[in-house]
Amino acid sequence: MTINYIAVKIESFLLPLIGELLTAATLKVQCDKIGTSVEKLTPMHLPELAPRIEQALVIFLGSDRSKRVSKQILEMNISQ
Amino acid sequence: MKLSAKVWFLTGMIMLFNVFFFWIKPEGKILTIVSDLLPVICVLVSIIGISFAVKNLHGFDQTKIAWIMLLAGMVLFLSAETIYGFLEVIMNIDVNEVFPTLADYFWMAGYVPIFIGLVMLVIGYKKSGFSFGSKSTYTFGISCFILITVLIIYKLLIPIIQDPETGKLAKFVYLYYPIADLFIIVPAMILAYITNLFGKGLISRPWRYIAVGFLCMTTFDIIYSYLSWNDMYGPGNFLDLLQNISYLLIGLGGIFQKELIESV
């Protein structure tokens, strides 16, 4: 179970879009690519993570909406 | 009520009417008229649905181009269905005797952008980095595809090639349809499978509907090719239900894409 609050926020955002399986997989894969893990995700990672998630979603949402998703992730209020 | 719910309702009404009308099978030309009119209406719904998707995709990117390709294909299919109906109903031409007709050229052309659009979606998915699923499922899928292809070759393609009475142009067109259908089936099956991986995720719904829609369309067409070649097809055949529902599902796919984009 994810207890990292940033990851939880991102997961709750992505879950209705891409479902449980792919949300978990996407977060894990993209965190690995930027040299961290889901458990160790911090606000500092968001500028690197958000564009990668944007790229993953572009074929479904188009570049305009996937950019909006990226922006929403970057602007996430991560207060615990 | 959401647009998708309204179109679902419309789909239900059209299909119920289709079933009822083919079941009662009225005498005279009315059956031919309705048989030819229904696919025109259904493909029009698909065009409207996909147009909504195209309109809501801002920015000219791979996603938009893929959906434009699907739209172009359906517009060509609409032209084909309309011409076919016009020839059969208004001009009283026996389209089975005069083959290929102008309609066939539009149908054949329509397959090209549809294939391109579906392949673009698959390639775009590959770039996304999402999982493509399990190798064993693809192995099973490829085996099934090979079996179906072998069956089509033996039951349909070889008899067409070997027929001494059919001219070269007619043979080419008769062969084109099932071969083009096999090409469409590949990306449609891939899309149908990968959308399964998304579970209940909203993002998968548009693709699921267009994948199933195109699988229904190609299944209809392959069976129709066989029946038509063997003079076993006529107006009011219940097989038409598969064609009509395929167009409606594709249209719904477009509308779900519109609603998906609006939800983000």
Domains in chain A: boundaries: 5-74
Q: Is B59 on the interface with A (CB under 8 A)?
A: yes
How many domains are contained in chain B? 1
What per-residue confidence (pLDDT) applies to B35?
93
Nearest chain B residue to A57, by CA? B128
A44 CA to centre of own chain: 13
Restricting to A residues 18-57, those with a Cβ less than 8 Å away from any Cβ of B are: 18-23, 25-26, 29-30, 52, 55-57
Secondary-structure breakdown of chain A: helix, strand, coil percentages, each rounded to the nearest 5: 75, 0, 25
Angle (CA) A11-A14-A16 rounded to 5° is 110
What are the E-state strand segments in B84-132? none
Which residues of A fall within a CB distance of 8 Å from B197?
19, 21-22
CB pairs under 8 A between A and B: 87
Instruction: For residue B61, give the CATH number of its domain.
Output: 1.20.1070
- The tens digit of pLDDT for each residue in A29-72 reads 889 889 998 899 888 899 999 999 999 889 999 999 999 989 98
pTM listed for this prediction: 0.92
ipTM of the complex, rounded to two decimals: 0.84
Any chain A CB within 8 A of the CB of B62? yes
Nearest residue, CB atoms, A19 vs list B58, B201, B260: B201
Q: How far is it, in rounded angstroms, from Cα B46 to Cα B191? A: 18
Of B131, B121, B203, B123, which Cα lies nearest the Cα of A28? B131
Q: Which domain holds residue B128?
A: 3-263
Q: At what angle do helices B168-197 and A5-33 cross, to 10 degrees?
A: 130
Residues of B in Cβ contact (< 8 Å) with A55: 127-129
Q: Name chain A contacts of B64, Cβ cutoff 8 Å.
A: 62
Q: Which residues contact A72 (CB under 8 A, 6 or more apart)?
A: A13
Contact partners, residue B22, CB within 8 Å, separation at least 6: B35, B236, B237, B238, B240, B241
Per-residue pLDDT of chain B (264 residues; tens, 9 = 90+): 889 999 999 999 999 999 999 999 888 889 999 999 999 999 999 999 999 999 999 989 999 999 999 999 999 999 999 999 999 999 998 887 888 999 999 999 999 999 999 999 999 999 888 888 899 999 999 999 999 999 999 999 999 999 999 999 999 999 999 999 999 999 999 999 999 888 778 888 999 999 999 999 999 999 999 999 999 988 889 999 999 999 999 999 999 999 999 988
- Compute the distance between CA of residue B188 and CA of residue B115 in angstroms, rounded to an integer: 9
For residue B66, which residues of chain A lie inside 8 Å, CB to CB?
59
The per-residue pLDDT for B98 is 85
DSSP states of B205-240 as a string? HHHHHHHHHHHHHHHHHHHHHHHHHTT---TT-TTH
The minimum CA-CA distance between B103 and chain A, rounded to whole Å, is 33
User: What per-residue confidence (pLDDT) applies to A23?
Assistant: 86
